[in-house]
Amino acid sequence: MSQTSSAATPPGRSAPWWRDAVIYQVYPRSFADADGDGMGDLPGITSRLQHLADLGVDALWLSPVYPSPQKDAGYDVADYRDVEPVFGTLADFDALAERAHALGLRVVVDIVPNHTSTEHAWFRAALAAGPGSPERSRYVFREGRGEHGEQPPNSWRSVFGGPAWTRVADGSWYLHLFDSSQPDLDWTNPEVDAEFRDVLRFWLRRGVDGFRIDVAHGLVKAEGLPEWDHEQALLDGADGADGPDGPDGADGSARRPPMWDQEGVHEVYRGWRRVLEEHPGERILVAEAWVSPPERLVRYLRSDEMHQAFNFDYLRAPWRAGDLRRVVDATLAAHDLVGAPSTWVLSNHDVVRHASRLGYPAGSEPASGVGPDDPQPDAALGLRRARAATTLMLGLPGGAYLYQGEELGLPEVTTLPAQVRQDPSFARTGGADRGRDGCRVPIPWSGEEPSYGFGPGSASWLPQPPSWRELSVAAQSGAEGSTLELYRRLLAVRREHGLGLGALRWVDLPGAGPDVLAFRNGDVLVVANLGAQPVAAPAGARALVASGELPGGALPTDTAAWFALPA
Ligand code: NOJ
């Protein structure tokens, strides 16, 4: 087992590393493939970690690499204490962590506690043991409705489409908020909690620096599993179609969806925090909780719970100055209530890459999945706005999350044919939901032919478009004006000026209208122009970095820049 300790805190720095960390998401299937089978793997990731160090991020978050039938790309876990052979071995994981720490990078792993795979030993045992057994009580088994129990126990829907219940051979039903291969665990069973605390200890002993908690708001369901016949969507999370708290109840009060954001989840994370505190170093818990408004989200960040939560309100904000400013203000105010750092994110493996999402008219950005027959994004507009959006984001105080490939300006692959799509949401909705494969295409590193250095040969589990040749790391490295060089510069200046630990103060720029966002963070002025007219840079300000050209010193439309202010 690896004995590597966490990367050391640099001398002179007192804030814990995670308060301003930029954390880079590695999606193992698609990052780098050492053995040439078309599927990324741990040795591939280790061989490419220098790229992350050169980019200037603080940590990587690794999406799941556990043994898994891969029905949901690894978010269907069959064993929480091992590595999927397709990705490598535990020794490969240890080598990755050791190399990362040697490069000064922290390692955050994914934990999936809401559900297991149907291939997990517990679920197999539950099926074998039969109704009413202790083995079944680790999951949410219920009898069906109707004369012969032929109707599901309630009307809940799966996030991936279709009913949230599947019937087993003896007639009982089990709950799965996601795919039928992902049975939900019953978190009222103390055995489940004990098991996960032990899993945390297993990885903490291996030297991980933190955990990203999948569906953190879903573990505990309302008692009695009350009816909820609304469509579910991954992106809707706690806020059903009718607004932040779901539809109004009969008495006019807002009713919280019975599967999301229930009070009982907080006790789970208090227990997990205590487990982390048994271990030396600054280890963290990060909530993947689709919870709105931010005052609800930050309840996960009280001082005895988690450290960070993804800011999906920011990710979902339309490309409009007013909307962005409202989200930024609401985020900062809510996080101040609990003393937690805010985080910011624009892309991940579940959403349309922001270089394409922002290529649609503001306010009509697609949430999940674009197919060949759908309206296509304006690629040039999308990239231009994406570069500006990232420049704006990395100027904000707090932590930030990047998703592999965004530093190359990679677009969503919208033209994937149906037969190569693997996301279960595509099949479960008969293709109505295009699914998330378009943001998961293996990334290009170098070369003229597929797989563009992803692996030693041409194999990649999803096809890469020919245009990715020009977008590879090698093609963009050292190229003036490339998106990769923009990210490197942003991260270097952000670090140099301590922007992540700074504070935001909005500024009224002379002559700038409501479509311009401008704020000071320490000694840096951040300006983003979302309007049609160019905006003059403030007199005497020196541009430190800009998302595009600044002709005559002015910011054209959809451009953001950071300026050093005269002393
Ligand atoms: C959220 C993950 O990010 C997503 O990829 C997964 O499908 C669901 N949780 C279910 O685990």
Same fold for the pair 17-116+190-487 and 121-175? no
Query: What digits encode the pLDDT tens for the residues 403-454?
Result: 999 999 999 999 999 999 999 999 999 999 999 999 999 999 999 999 999 9
CB atoms within 10 A of CB 560: 27
92 pocket-lining for ligand 1 (C-beta < 6 Å): no
216 pocket-lining for ligand 1 (C-beta < 6 Å): no
pLDDT for residue 233: 57
SS (H, E, C) 473-484: HHHHCCCCCCHH
- Rounded Cα gap, residues 187 and 419, in angstroms: 37
Ligand 1 centroid, distance to 216 Cα (angstroms): 10
- For residue 284, the cross-strand partners are 210
Pick among 1.25.40, 2.60.40, 1.20.1260, 3.40.50: CATH of 505-564: 2.60.40
Would you name the residues annotated as active-site residues?
A: 214, 278
Average pLDDT, the chain: 94
The stretches in the chain having pLDDT less than 70 are 1-11, 232-254
- SS3 state of residue 335: helix
CB atoms within 10 A of CB 155: 15
72 pocket-lining for ligand 1 (C-beta < 6 Å): yes
437 pocket-lining for ligand 1 (C-beta < 6 Å): no
Query: What tokens appear for 351 in the block?
Result: 């959403």
Question: Which atom belonging to ligand 1 lies closest to the Cα atom of 436?
Answer: 5
213 pocket-lining for ligand 1 (C-beta < 6 Å): no
- SS3 state of residue 28: helix
Ligand 1 centroid, distance to 15 Cα (angstroms): 31
Region of 85 (left: φ > 0; alpha: ψ -120 to 50; beta: rest) is alpha
Give φ, ψ of 516 to 5 degrees. -110, 135
Query: What digits encode the pLDDT tens for the residues 178-202?
Result: 999 999 999 999 999 999 999 999 9
CB atoms within 10 A of CB 503: 11
Question: Which atom belonging to ligand 1 lies closest to the Cα atom of 76?
Answer: 11
Q: Domain locations in the chain?
A: 17-116+190-487, 121-175, 505-564
Segment (H or E) for 308: strand 308-309
- Rounded Cα gap, residues 155 and 152, in angstroms: 7
Query: What tokens appear for 109 in the block?
Result: 């792993």
Which residue type is seen at 436?
R
pLDDT for residue 251: 42
pTM beyond cutoff 0.75:
yes
| Residue 210, CA distances (Å) to 217, 269, 271, 412 in order | 18, 13, 15, 29
Q: Which of 70, 159, 350, 422 to mutate to test the pocket of ligand 1 (most atoms within 8 A of CB)?
A: 350
Residue nearest atom 11 of ligand 1, based on CA coordinates: 75
Query: What tokens appear for 268 in the block?
Result: 């789970």
> Is CATH 3.40.50.300 the right assignment for the domain spanning 121-175?
no
- Rounded Cα gap, residues 47 and 27, in angstroms: 15
Beta strands per DSSP E along 120-209:
141-142, 165-167, 173-175
pLDDT for residue 28: 98
pLDDT for residue 525: 97
pLDDT for residue 10: 59
Residues belonging to the chain: 567
**Of 108, 106, 73, nearest to 87 (Cα)?**
73
Domain 17-116+190-487, what fold?
TIM Barrel (3.20.20)
**Of 380, 344, 342, nearest to 503 (Cα)?**
342
- Half-sphere exposure of residue 91, counting CA atoms within 13 Å on the CB side? 0
pLDDT for residue 554: 96
- Rounded Cα gap, residues 463 and 477, in angstroms: 23
Place of tokens 């599927």: 39
76 pocket-lining for ligand 1 (C-beta < 6 Å): no
Question: Which atom belonging to ligand 1 lies closest to the Cα atom of 72?
Answer: 7
350 pocket-lining for ligand 1 (C-beta < 6 Å): yes
